[in-house]
Amino acid sequence: MQNSVSIRDLSLSFGAVNVLENLNLDIGNGEFLVLLGSSGCGKSTLLNCIAGLLEPTGGQIFIKDKNVTWEEPKDRGIGMVFQSYALYPQMTVEKNLSFGLQVAKMPKPEIEKRIQRAAEILQIGPLLKRKPSELSGGQRQRVAIGRALVRDVDVFLFDEPLSNLDAKLRSELRVEIKRLHQSLKNTMIYVTHDQIEALTLADRIAIMKSGVIQQLADPNTIYNAPKNMFVAGFIGSPSMTFLRGEIVEKDGKPVFHTNGVDFSLDGYSAAEPLQAGRKVVLGVRPEHVKVNEDSAGAEAHQATVDIEEPMGADNLLWLKHAGHSMSVRVAGARRFAPGTAVRLSFDMGLASLFDAGTEERI
C-alpha cells in the first residue's frame, strides 16, 4: 500500500464553470499535505470531492487503494474539520463527539473509550459537558478535531481550520496540529491560504491556482526554488521582489541587467543556458538581500530607504533601487530613517530567475 489517497483525472464543474480539470495527486501514507492557494482556486472543492461531499464530474478517487469515488462520506475512512468548526450547537461537546458513533450504532462502552482517548489527546476533558457556545474559538476547534479523532479514520481533512481564530490562537493551534500529526501519524490533507501554516505544517505543499496544481513539493523547495512566478510571488511575506530585465553578456558571463544596473549571476544554478538578450525576471526575497550602511563590497548596489516597517523582531525596509521598489528584511534592531542611502548586496544562490514570457523558472 503505497499511497493513502490517490486522485486520478479528477474533474468537477458547477454548470459551465470548470473548477477542477483532470487533476492528479498522490498522497503518501502518513503524509501531511497542504493545499495552498488564493480564495476561489478550488481547494475546498477538491477537499470536498475527497470527502465525498461533492460528486466529481469525472475521474476517480482512491483511498487506501480502494475506489471510493461513489462511496458515501462515512464509508471512506475520512474525518473532516471545518473552518467554522461546524459543531452541532444544540449538543454538548460529548454529544458532538459521540453523534457519529451513535449513528453508526457503536456499542456504548466503545464510544466512551474513544471519547476518553480523544479528550485526553486534545485536553478537552473538562469541557465535555459544555455546549459549543460556552467554548472559546480555540476550544471549539479542538472539539472539531476531536470529532474526526473519535472516528478513528485513515485520513484527516482540514479546511482552513484556523482561519477563524486570532493570530495568537492560530499559532498555538498550529503547533498542536503539528504535534497531533507527529503522534498519530495519520495522513492529513490540509487546506489553507495562509502560507505560514503551509510552510510550518506541510511535508509537501501543493500550490493551486484556478484548479490546477502549480507546484507540488516540500516547503523548502517551494520557498527557495519556486517553479514559476506565481508560486514565487505567492509564498513569502512580503513578496519576493521581481525585477524585470534581460540577460546581457559581460566578461563572457551572463549578467542580469535592469535599468542600467547589472547583477552578477554567479552562484545561480540555471536549468537552461542563459542566452544574452533573453528577457527574464529576477526574483529576490527580502531576507536574501544584505543591507550595508558603508560602501564595502564589489557588487554594492546603491539604494535609498523609502519606508521602514519595524515589526519587533524584524525590520522591513522598502527601498528604491534602480527605479524599482524592493523590500528587504533586516534585524529588528537595525533602524533606518526614510531617505537613508544604503548599499545592497545579493545572495544569488538563493535568488530565482524566470522567463519573462512563460514565467517559468529558468
Partner 1 sequence: MSDTVALNPGPALAAATRAGVEPRGAKPRRALSGRNIMLYGTLAVAALYYLLPLYVMVVTSMKGMPEIRLGNIFSPPLEVTFEPWVKAWAQACTGLNCDGLSRGFWNSVRITVPSTLISILVASVNGYALANWKFKGADLFFTILIVGAFIPYQVMIYPIVIVLREMGIYGTLTGLVIVHTIFGMPILTLLFRNYFSSLPEELFKAARIDGAGFWQIYFRIMLPMSLPIFVVAMILQITGIWNDFLFGVVFTRPEYYPMTVQLNNIVNSVQGVKEYNVNMAATLLTGAVPLIVYFVSGRLFVRGIAAGAVKG
Partner 2 sequence: MTGQAHTGRPSKLLRNLSSKIASIPMMLTAVVIFLGGTIWTVVYSFTNSKLLPRAKFVGFDQYERLWDAPRWIVSIQNLAIYGAFTLVFSLVIGFLLAALMDQKIRFENTFRTIFLYPFALSFIVTGLVWQWILNPEFGVQSVVRSLGWTSFTFDPLYNADIVIYGVLIAGLWQGTGLVMCLLLAGLRGIDEDIWKASRVDGIPMWKTYLFIVIPMMRPVFITTLVIIASGIVKVYDLVVAQTSGGPGIASEVPAKYVYDYMFQAQNLGQGFAASTMMLVTVAIIIVPWAYLEFGGRKRV
Ligand X SMILES: Nc1ncnc2c1ncn2[C@@H]1O[C@H](COP(=O)(O)OP(=O)(O)OP(=O)(O)O)[C@@H](O)[C@H]1O
Which residues lie near partner 1 (CB under 8 A)? 11, 48, 51-53, 55, 57-60, 67-74, 78-80, 82-84, 86-90, 99-100, 103-104, 144, 147, 151, 159
Compare residues 38 and 90 and give the one whose CB is closer to a copy of itself: 38
Q: Do the Cβ atoms of 20 and 49 come closer than 8 Å?
A: yes
Compare residues 17 and 311 and give the one whose CB is closer to ligand X: 17
Q: Do the Cβ atoms of 72 and 52 come closer than 8 Å?
A: yes
Asked if residue 4 binds Mg ion (CB under 5 A), the reply is: no
Amino acid at 182: Q
Asked if residue 42 binds ligand X (CB under 6 A), the reply is: yes
Per partner kind, with CB cut-offs from 5 to 8 A, the member of a copy of itself, partner 2, ligand X, none near residue 236 is a copy of itself
161 CA to centre of own chain: 13
Per partner kind, with CB cut-offs from 5 to 8 A, the member of a copy of itself, partner 2, Mg ion, none near residue 104 is partner 2
Amino acid at 142: R
Selected binder of partner 2 within 48, 139, 228, 315 (CB under 8 A)? 48
Q: Which residues in 38-139 belong to E strands, given as ranges? A: 58-63, 66-67, 78-81
Q: Is the peptide bond before 238 cis (omega within 30 degrees of 0)?
A: yes
Tell which positions 71-130 bind Mg ion, by CB under 5 A. none
Selected binder of ligand X within 22, 40, 66, 267 (CB under 6 A)? 40
CA distances from 108 to 93, 102, 131 (A): 16, 8, 21
Selected binder of ligand X within 10, 31, 32, 45 (CB under 6 A)? 45
Asked if residue 317 binds partner 2 (CB under 8 A), the reply is: no
16 CA to centre of own chain: 29
Q: What would the DSSP string read from start to end of 341-358?
A: EEEEEE-GGG-EEEETTT
Residue owning grid cell 519606508: 307
Per partner kind, with CB cut-offs from 5 to 8 A, the member of ligand X, partner 1, a copy of itself, none near residue 14 is ligand X
Q: Do the Cβ atoms of 241 and 53 come closer than 8 Å?
A: no
Cα angle, residue 220 at apex, residues 292 and 36 outer, rounded to 5°: 110
Tell which positions 14-33 bind a copy of itself, by CB under 8 A. none
Footprint on this chain of ligand X (rule: CB under 6 A) = 14, 17, 19, 37, 39-45, 193
Binding site for Mg ion (CB under 5 A): 44
Binding site for a copy of itself (CB under 8 A): 38-39, 166-168, 171, 174-175, 178-179, 182, 193-196, 199-201, 219-220, 223, 235-239, 285-287, 307, 309-313, 316, 318, 329, 332, 338
